[in-house]
């Protein structure tokens, strides 16, 4: 795939907006919603709306073929949530659905121009971790005003709305909606689905004793961002299977040394390298339903969140080694059976 200047503009715009959307969601949740009596339920409701709903929204998006419109509406809905904070559950729903609309619309556009490559996917998904981290930190601190954030959301929504008419022939729309051959590819899809479930759980449950010491918290979130971005580029250069084997294999070993900060940071970086690979492989398996495939994997993220939400936590280092090894087996099987 040869990227044009307009392709770079699209990926850059969506990636920056991704960070902004996740920042805005985390900021409002911790600035306003955290103090309400329904805080614990709000966490569950937000994650359901933001991740589980991407699956049905993705199917609708495949049919509508108006990806930029959905992404821009997602920005607008997140901004609207700031005016609803006096009705906490309504604000949470607006945040979550807005997040879902943006991710499906932006994700579909990036998938459409990715073709045989996964590097653009890695660039798109990676900045979200920065948004969540800094949105949570500043939301708890309450040190900044909200109006510049709302202005930024409005500006980026406007820029996204112009994508299709501005790029014209460079704007690649969705393929006709089709789930033909889905039954034959269910085994590979199931393997990829389980990989994301395990990654979601491990990412939420993993705790390092030094995480709150000095700058190691920033180092960890940077490792998440770099891992997702580098994974796409590495897969394009060396192949998805080889990168998956090396990254998950080495991560499984490094998870055995949680007391060593630098090894912990490296394990997180390597563990996250397969994220764009799973997205790319699932989309290649269902070329006529990329939005649905994107949403299917975000539904897996939601399922991985549930055990942690209900208190099922793992602490032993060997458990995360086992999860990484199992992820490798499942991902290898999924990549072998998928159309990759």
For all residues of the chain together, what is the average pLDDT? 92
Q: What is the DSSP string of 111-168?
A: HHHHTT--HHHHHHHTTHHHHHHHHHHHHHHT-S-SHHHHHHHHHHHHHHHTHHHHHG
Arithmetic mean of pLDDT, 30-38: 94
| pLDDT-based confidence at residue 59 (cuts at 50, 70, 90) | very high
> Side-chain half-sphere of 303: how many Cα atoms within 13 Å?
14
pLDDT per residue over 268-290, tens digit each? 999 999 999 999 999 988 888 99
Residue 245 has pLDDT above 80, yes or no: yes
How far apart, in whole angstroms, are the C-alpha atoms of residue 64 and residue 280? 21
How far apart, in whole angstroms, are the C-alpha atoms of residue 298 and residue 313? 21
How far apart, in whole angstroms, are the C-alpha atoms of residue 230 and residue 243? 10
Q: What is the DSSP string of 153-181?
A: HHHHHHHHHTHHHHHGGG---PPPP--TT
Residue 183 has pLDDT above 80, yes or no: no
How far apart, in whole angstroms, are the C-alpha atoms of residue 53 and residue 55? 5
Arithmetic mean of pLDDT, 134-159: 90
Q: Supply the pTM of this predicted model.
A: 0.94
How far apart, in whole angstroms, are the C-alpha atoms of residue 261 and residue 255? 11
How far apart, in whole angstroms, are the C-alpha atoms of residue 240 and residue 265? 22
Arithmetic mean of pLDDT, 296-319: 94
Residue 335 has pLDDT above 80, yes or no: yes
Write the CA distances from 194 to 75, 278, 303, integer angstroms. Answer: 30, 10, 10
> Side-chain half-sphere of 235: how many Cα atoms within 13 Å?
33
Residue 340 has pLDDT above 60, yes or no: no
Residue 3 has pLDDT above 70, yes or no: no
Tokens representing residue 157 in the block = 């929504």
173 vs 251: which has the higher pLDDT? 251
């Amino acid at each position: 795939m040869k990227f044009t200047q307009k392709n770079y503009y699209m990926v850059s715009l969506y990636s920056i907006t991704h960070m902004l959307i996740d920042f805005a969601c985390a900021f409002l949740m911790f600035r306003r919603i955290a103090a309400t009596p329904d805080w614990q339920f709000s966490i569950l409701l937000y994650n359901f709306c933001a991740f589980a709903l991407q699956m049905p929204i993705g199917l609708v998006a495949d049919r509508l073929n108006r990806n930029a419109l959905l992404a821009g509406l997602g920005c607008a809905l997140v901004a609207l949530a700031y005016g609803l904070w006096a009705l906490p559950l309504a604000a949470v729903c607006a945040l979550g659905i807005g997040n879902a609309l943006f991710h499906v619309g932006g994700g579909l556009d990036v998938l459409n121009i990715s073709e045989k490559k996964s590097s653009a996917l890695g660039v798109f998904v990676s900045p979200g971790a920065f948004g969540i981290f800094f949105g949570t930190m500043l939301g708890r601190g309450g040190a900044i005003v909200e109006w510049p954030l709302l202005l930024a959301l409005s500006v980026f929504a406007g820029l996204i709305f112009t994508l299709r008419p501005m790029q014209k022939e460079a704007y690649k729309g969705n393929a006709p909606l089709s789930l033909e051959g889905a039954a034959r590819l269910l085994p590979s899809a199931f393997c990829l689905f389980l990989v994301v479930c395990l990654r979601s759980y491990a990412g939420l449950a993993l705790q390092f004793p030094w995480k709150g010491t000095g700058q190691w918290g920033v180092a960890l979130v940077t490792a998440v961002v770099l891992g997702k971005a580098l994974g796409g580029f590495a897969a394009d250069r060396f192949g998805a299977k080889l990168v998956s084997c090396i990254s998950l294999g080495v991560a499984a070993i490094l998870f055995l040394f949680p007391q060593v900060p630098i090894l912990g940071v490296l394990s997180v970086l390597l563990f996250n390298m397969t994220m764009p690979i799973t997205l790319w492989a699932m989309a290649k398996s269902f070329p006529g339903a990329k939005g649905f495939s994107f949403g299917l994997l975000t539904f897996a993220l939601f399922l991985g969140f549930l055990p942690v939400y209900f208190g099922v936590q793992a602490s032993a280092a060997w458990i995360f080694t086992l999860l990484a090894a199992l992820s490798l087996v499942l991902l290898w099987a999924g990549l072998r059976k998928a159309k990759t």
